[in-house]
Amino acid sequence: MKKLCFLIFILAATLLFFAKTLKASEGVIEIVSTTDDVYRCWASSVRMQNQEFRIPFTCRNLIYPANDNVFNYVAWATPQNGGETIKLGALGLGRGEFRTKKAFANLFVTTERSKDVKTPQGTVVMRGNVESIEPFFQEGPTATPTPSTEGGEEELQQEEPEQPSELTTRQKFLLALRRAGVAALIALVALVGLIFVVTRSRG
């Protein structure tokens, strides 16, 4: 029983370490010159569903030839857990896209007489470490600042009072008729009242 628990613990620790190693190889790599020349490269590393790392490469200011009879820039990767250097491939005019299933910690570029070399033989002219993208995914949402006035109070949008709409000619005419009707009714009531008073006084 103790041996079984120990084996399960070792297996779990190994899987956890392997997962962390794979995540560490995902990121961006700024590959800068290790010489007095100004060339530099940029690469990214993404692990695909088949557990293969896809590494697009782009470079600037590469010099051709790099030296006497040296026309090739070759990209390499340093394995995460040590071991033999991983050859990615030759940079054709400063561009390339490479694949590897091995986790790696950094990339470097050498100048070679032949692009078919199996191990680095020329001068290392550029090098860069993998900058993990995990912190980016672990960041929380960024709060949007609220606009404020100089006094620190939130700026309120002032609503303009609604302007009364002007009456149309038809509406003005109906309004005048209504007022005239009211005045006529008042005059009629007054006239009836006057006639009633006069009639009563004569009787």
Q: What is the pLDDT of residues 35-82, one digit of tens each?
A: 999 999 999 999 999 989 999 999 999 999 988 889 999 999 999 888
58, part of any domain: yes
41, part of any domain: yes
Residue 153: pLDDT over 60: no
Q: What percent of the chain has pLDDT over 90?
A: 44
CATH number (domain holding residue 104): 2.60.40
What is the Cα gyration radius of the chain?
44
The pLDDT assigned to 72 comes to: 96
The pLDDT assigned to 171 comes to: 72
Residue 16: pLDDT over 80: no
175, part of any domain: no
26, part of any domain: yes
- What per-residue string of b and e applies to 87-126 under the rule 16 or more CB within 10 Å gives b? bbbbbeeeebebebeebbebbbbbbbbeeebeeeebeebb
The pLDDT assigned to 76 comes to: 97
Distance between CA 115 and CA 93 in Å, rounded? 13
pTM, to two decimals: 0.58
Candidates 6, 63, 56, 70; CA nearest to 37 is 63
The letter for the amino acid at 137 is F
- Per mean pLDDT, which of 105-114, 146-155, 191-200 is the most reliable? 105-114
15, part of any domain: no
Report how many domains make up the chain: 1
82, part of any domain: yes
The pLDDT assigned to 192 comes to: 76
144, part of any domain: no
Residue 134: pLDDT over 90: no
Range of the domain at 80: 22-133
43, part of any domain: yes
